[in-house]
Amino acid sequence: MALKTPGSTQLALLRHVRPADLRAAVQLATVATTGVIGIAEGVHQSVRRRIGLPAGTLPDRAGGLTGQIYQGIRGVTQLVGHGLDGALATLLPLVDEPALHPAPSAGREAVIAALNGVLGDRLEASGNPLAQPMELRYQGQRLPLDRAPLLHERLAGATPHLLVLLHGLCMNDTQWLRGGHDHGAWLARELGCTPVYLRYNSGLHTSINGRELARQLEALTAQWPVPLQTITLVGHSMGGLVARAACFEAQASSQRWPSRLQHLVFLGTPHHGAPLERAGHGIDLLLAASPFTSPFTRLGQLRSAGITDLRHGHVREADWHGRDRFGSAADHREPLPLPEGVACFAAAGTLAPQRGLLADRLNGDGLVPLRSALGQHEDPARRLVFARDSQRTFYRTGHLELLASRAVAEQIVQWLAPAPPAASA
If the chain, 425 residues long, is cut into consecutive pieces of 10 residues, what is the mean pLDDT of each piece?
Answer: 48 50 54 49 46 52 52 50 47 46 70 85 84 95 94 95 96 94 97 98 96 98 96 98 98 96 97 70 41 43 83 93 77 92 96 69 80 94 94 94 96 89 54
Q: How many of the other CB atoms lie within 10 Å of CB of 357?
A: 8
pTM: 0.77
* Spatial contact of 268 and 402, defined as CB atoms under 8 Å apart: yes
Angstrom distance (rounded) from CA 230 to CA 31: 46
Architecture of the domain made up of 135-273+334-416? 3-Layer(aba) Sandwich (3.40)
| Residue 37: per-residue pLDDT | 43
Distance CA 272, CA 76 (A): 45
Q: What is the pLDDT of residues 224-243, one digit of tens each?
A: 999 999 999 999 999 999 99
> How far is it, in rounded angstroms, from Cα 253 to Cα 246?
11
**Residues of the chain above pLDDT 90, percent:** 51
Bridge partner residues of 391 (DSSP): 346
| pLDDT of amino acid 186 | 97
Q: What local confidence, expressed as pLDDT, does residue 246 receive?
A: 98
Q: Work out the angle between the directed axes of helices 406-416 and 183-191 (0-180°, nearest 10).
A: 40
Q: Which of 154, 136, 124 is nearest to 212 (CA)?
A: 136
102 burial (CB, 10 Å; 0-12 / 13-18 / 19+) is exposed
